[in-house]
DNA sequence: GTCTATAATGAGATAGAC
DNA sequence: GTCTATCTCATTATAGAC
């Protein structure tokens, strides 16, 4: 079983899956629906993916890589500018906005592929970067509002042109963060 | 089939269901698991609830009622104070924090019981109350950050004593909202 | 690389006894 | 009000032909 990690059909399956996951939820989508959308049959999917779980995981991988890289970079920096960090977080989130939407609105379904602890870890690390390791409740709340609000803007203002959305979102998030 | 709307067992089923929904997601929880947790069998559940859907819906009803009432009241008021509105929204959210968590992290599963449009409607109405009916993108983003951030604080700072959490959350949300 | 056919499992739901 | 037993259906997944 060679199953190349990249192929035309494999990619088309991932795209169809992501569309359906976004429309109706991860757990609510069956392999049959994905196959139907592409005019394929279920067994064809199993040629390209070992299991349903591998399909979901492969879909999330690009987001995982980008977010891990972003955090590693910022944690290595000697000093960080809050708006700058939020800006890079916005850019990664926008690049993977469909996946970020799943992460936000369908987390239990992604828990099936062991994603929950990872997501919580990201949020904790981002909060530490924004508020420091020993932040009190007030400072933590400010960081949480900034990060959570940013994610919500991507979902709820998805129709807005990126540049306008980026500035409005960062303004609001930085305001929540307050004077550093 | 009498099936009283309130009974000891019915309530215990609802509590067990909510626990499991919170732990592992709505769609990931089967009637079998709920029954097992109570030392019952599946058919016993069907004496108390017409269907799985009715169980889920009945669970959400108290939140629906409280949130509808809150919005009706504030929309009828001639003038609203932002921090006051957010405070009442915090109180309702805290009262139903487990359900609010589901609404935030498991929305596609609740879409099965026709909940998505309702949730989106609430957020739209709250945004209008906070930012006005003709708000530009910047003002909408501020309201979205305030509301979304508030919800995230309830989930992520759940261990914090209420009073402390309430003040920290409202401070951060109001900061996001900016000067009115 | 995709198909037909089918296995194996578990879900929601019902019938009828107690 | 709860049980045992069963039905129906959809799901993930596999075997083997083309």
Q: What is the pLDDT of residues B49-85, one digit of tens each?
A: 999 999 999 999 999 999 999 999 999 999 999 999 9
Chain B, 26-45: which have a CB under 8 Å from a chain A CB?
Answer: 26-28
Measure, in angstroms, how far nucleotide C18 C1' is from residue B22 CA.
Answer: 36
pLDDT score, position B6: 81
Sequence-distant (≥ 6) Cβ neighbours of residue B9 within 8 angstroms: B44, B48
pLDDT score, position A125: 98
Sequence-distant (≥ 6) Cβ neighbours of residue A153 within 8 angstroms: A165, A168, A169, A172, B141, B144, B145, B148
pLDDT score, position B1: 56
Q: pLDDT band for position B2 (50/70/90)?
A: low
Handedness of CA A17, A19, A25, A30 (dihedral sign): negative
Q: Which residue of B has its CA nearest to A106?
A: B106
pLDDT score, position A82: 97
| Residues of chain B contacting residue A148, judged by C-beta atoms under 8 Å apart | 145, 148-149, 151-153, 156
Which residue do the tokens 């299991």 mark? A51
Q: Cβ of A9 < 7 Å from strand C?
A: yes
pLDDT score, position A180: 72
* Residue pLDDT, tens place only, B128-174: 999 999 999 999 999 999 999 999 999 999 999 999 999 999 999 99
- The CATH architecture that domain A1-50 belongs to is Orthogonal Bundle (1.10)
Residues of chain A with pLDDT under 50: none
- Domain extents for chain B? 1-50, 60-177
pLDDT score, position A1: 54
Find and list the nucleotides of strand D having atoms within 7 Å of a protein beta carbon. Answer: 1-5, 10-16
Measure, in angstroms, how far nucleotide C18 C1' is from residue B43 CA.
Answer: 14
Residues B88, B72: contact at Cβ < 8 Å?
no
pLDDT score, position A54: 98
Q: How many CB atoms lie within 10 A of CB B111?
A: 18
The CATH number for B60-177, chosen from 3.90.1200, 1.10.1740, 1.25.40, 1.10.357, is 1.10.357
Same fold: B1-50 with B60-177: no
Residue B116, pLDDT above cutoff 80? yes
pLDDT score, position B3: 72
Measure, in angstroms, how far nucleotide D18 C1' is from residue A43 CA.
Answer: 14
Count of H-run helices and E-run strands, chain A: 10, 0
pLDDT score, position A2: 57
Q: Which residue of B has its CA nearest to A150?
A: B145
Q: How many Å lie between the alpha carbon of A118 and the closest alpha carbon of chain B?
A: 14
DSSP A178: -
């Amino acid at each position: 079983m060679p199953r190349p990690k990249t192929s035309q059909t494999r990619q088309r399956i991932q795209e169809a899956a992501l569309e359906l996951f976004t429309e109706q939820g991860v757990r609510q989508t069956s392999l049959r629906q994905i196959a139907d959308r592409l005019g394929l049959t279920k067994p064809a999917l199993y040629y390209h993916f070992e299991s349903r779980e591998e399909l979901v995981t492969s879909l999330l991988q690009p987001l995982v890589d980008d977010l891990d890289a972003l955090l590693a970079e910022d944690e290595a920096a000697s000093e960080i500018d809050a708006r700058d960090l939020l800006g890079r977080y916005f850019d990664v989130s926008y690049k993977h906005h469909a996946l970020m939407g799943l992460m936000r609105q369908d987390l239990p379904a992604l828990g099936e592929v062991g994603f929950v602890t990872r997501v919580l870890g990201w949020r904790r690390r981002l909060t530490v970067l924004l508020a420091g390791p020993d932040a009190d409740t007030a400072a933590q709340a400010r960081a949480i509002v900034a990060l959570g609000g940013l994610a919500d803007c991507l979902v709820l203002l998805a129709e807005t042109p990126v540049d306008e959305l980026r500035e409005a979102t960062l303004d609001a998030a930085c305001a929540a963060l307050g004077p550093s």
